[in-house]
A and B are shown apart, each in its own frame.
Chain A
């Protein structure tokens, strides 16, 4: 699990600002995922990508955007359109299709909107 990193660990944002969360992996995994974790709600999928230059919306994509220009990187932008962005954000990767195999998680980024 040391092969997937997220930065920063903590992030503070003023209302109306866009922020970008970084996710990098050196595991040579094809698939990458972004989840949001709120107390009592488990892990909810924001976006996922199974191959470079392609990504799909998850269950709660509104107010978020992603890109997958490189296999190793899957940044998440939290836009001002996201009404309640304060949460813990987890990035994950898997060798191929993560819905059929183990997903490896990063350490997470805690975003707080001031």
Chain B
């Protein structure tokens, strides 16, 4: 079936370094790709999203890139800080609903 694969499942990064999380999707008709951040014990919150008419979007230290030909998109976090530690989920729209990846647990090492 249609799905979204997300890698890696866990990622540890030294504070100040960059982190990259990658997702691939199967439905070529997908045109909306959000990223959600879930801190420990809290609800998921949207941090950035991208639509298929653009290839890259930035918001301060975070950016998302999209390659529609290859059907993959990535989250980039630069100058990582302790508060970036969380679980990150990518998603893609398929069949009138969002399909989420399995999540990446990001740990920032002080």
Residues of chain A whose beta carbon lies under 8 Å from any beta carbon of chain B:
1, 35, 40-45, 48, 56, 58-59, 90, 97-103, 105-108
A56 to chain B: closest CB distance in Å?
8
Is B96 a contact of A97 with CB atoms below 8 Å? yes
Q: CA of A44 to CA of B103 in the docked complex: distance in angstroms? A: 12
Q: Which of A41, A103, A107 contacts B98 (CB 8 A)?
A: A103
Query: Which of B9, B98, B102 has most chain A Cβ within 10 Å?
Result: B98
Name A's interface SS: loop
**Contacts A40-B9, A99-B93; is A106 near B43 (CB within 8 Å)?**
yes
Is B89 a contact of A43 with CB atoms below 8 Å? yes
Residues of chain B whose beta carbon lies under 8 Å from any beta carbon of chain A:
6, 9, 32, 34, 42-46, 49, 89, 91, 93-94, 96-103
Q: Please give, as numbers and ranges, the residues of chain B lying within 8 Å of A43 by CB-CB distance.
A: 44, 89, 91, 100
Q: Which of B45, B97, B101 contacts A58 (CB 8 A)?
A: B97
Is A99 a contact of B9 with CB atoms below 8 Å? no
Q: CA of A107 to CA of B54 in the docked complex: distance in angstroms? A: 32
Is B89 a contact of A107 with CB atoms below 8 Å? no
Q: CA of A100 to CA of B102 in the docked complex: distance in angstroms? A: 20
Q: Which residue of A lies closest to B46 (CB)?
A: A102
